[in-house]
Amino acid sequence: MKMMCIIKDLMNGNPNLPSGFEEEVVGHNALAAGFQGQRQWTDFYPNADFPEALLNSSFDWEGAREPYILATENDVLNGIGMLFMKLLTNRAQMFADVRTFWSTDAVKEATGYTLQGDVADAGGFIHLINSGACCLDGSGRSVDENGKGIMKPWYEVSEEDQKAMLEATTWCAADYGYFRGGGFSSRFATTEKMPVTMIRLNLVDGLGPVLQIAEGFTIELPEEVSNLLWKRTDYTWPCTWFMPRCDGKPGPFASAYDVMNHWGANHGAISYGHIGADLITMCSMLRIPVSMHNVPSADIFRPSAWGAFGMDKEGQDYRACMTYGPLYK
């Protein structure tokens, strides 16, 4: 709790602090922040899982409020991805390790369960899990007018939603194998099938930032199956099973495995809804090429000037962004 208050004060400022805390009094007017943690901190002090989870959520002890952006492991690029999607959607953002690919055969061997439907067609799914920074909204316990679990814009989150998210979350003692200084990690399972978009901003030497986009769905597995697979990583961390939308064609979206195999880092930022088209338009405005996406071509809008850079859409994007240069320097 103390760490959470300090981070909020560093981001926002706090005029009520005593002399000696001049930096915290003024604050940094920060849009986003990060916490390094591993291992310079966590070998000796409690981890920051509690402040990361709650600051990224759409509420705290004062009720509903705009979520903060706080990237664990001080992953600046993932933090920027979270910030992009929060500004586009007004929703809390999930931070997760793109941890494990589970194929249809692997699930069958480990649990005896046979995947069916879309998830079987995708060849399996990806385990999204990280010790701290996933917002509690990611549990999918907020409900819409039809009683379906969603992630709401922060200004629509009710007290009932907040209570449901907290009831779905267990604060587990930190795993000493990772965090010798102790602490508490949030633990919940995403139990609703929700449309989501996972992105990763990568920095390429000599080129600059490029964005990867994977639209898909969270999936719900039978509880006994989920628990068996969950325990293969860490049972004290929040757990989301992600099925990217795949097309079976050669390339990064041939299967769920190919999505993970082409992913540019071990982290991903995840937002509610299929917002890939909005991200592509935003990236063209910011001159950030999109290196990988599964957004239907009919939904994509880029400036008409991109047409002067060839007929291949993704090549157009790279050449146009390089020619026009970054919007902000």
Structure confidence at residue 153 (pLDDT): 97
- Tell me the H-state helices in the chain: 2-12, 22-26, 49-56, 76-89, 104-111, 118-121, 159-167, 223-230, 256-262, 276-286, 313-324
3-state secondary structure of 189: strand
Whole-structure pTM value: 0.95
Q: Parse the chain into domains and list their residue ranges.
A: 75-324
Structure confidence at residue 167 (pLDDT): 97
Task: Give domain 75-324's CATH architecture.
Answer: Alpha-Beta Barrel (3.20)
List the catalytic residue out of 49, 52, 75, 97: 97
- C-alpha distance from residue 18 to each of 5, 14, 21, 22, 244 (Å): 15, 10, 6, 8, 50
Task: Measure the CA–CA gap between 108 and 123, rounded to whole angstroms.
Answer: 12
List the catalytic residue out of 9, 24, 49, 73: 73
| Bridge pairing between strands 290-292 and 208-219 | parallel
Structure confidence at residue 180 (pLDDT): 87
Structure confidence at residue 42 (pLDDT): 79
- DSSP notation for 190-207: --S--EEEEEEEEEETTT
Q: What does the chain come to in residues?
A: 329
DSSP state of 168: T
Chain centroid to CA 89: 13
Q: What is the pLDDT along the chain (329 residues), one digit of tens a residue?
A: 889 999 999 999 999 999 998 888 999 999 999 998 777 787 888 999 999 999 999 999 999 999 999 999 889 999 999 999 999 999 999 999 999 999 999 999 999 999 999 999 999 999 999 987 899 999 999 999 999 999 999 999 999 999 999 999 999 998 888 888 888 999 999 988 999 999 999 999 999 999 999 999 999 999 999 999 999 999 999 999 999 999 999 999 999 999 999 999 999 999 999 999 999 999 999 999 999 999 999 999 999 999 999 999 999 999 999 999 988 87
121 is catalytic: no
H or E element: which one contains 210? strand 208-219
Task: Measure the CA–CA gap between 258 and 252, rounded to whole angstroms.
Answer: 5
49 is catalytic: no
- DSSP notation for 57-82: SSEETTEE-PPP-EEETT-HHHHHHH
Task: Measure the CA–CA gap between 44 and 291, rounded to whole angstroms.
Answer: 40
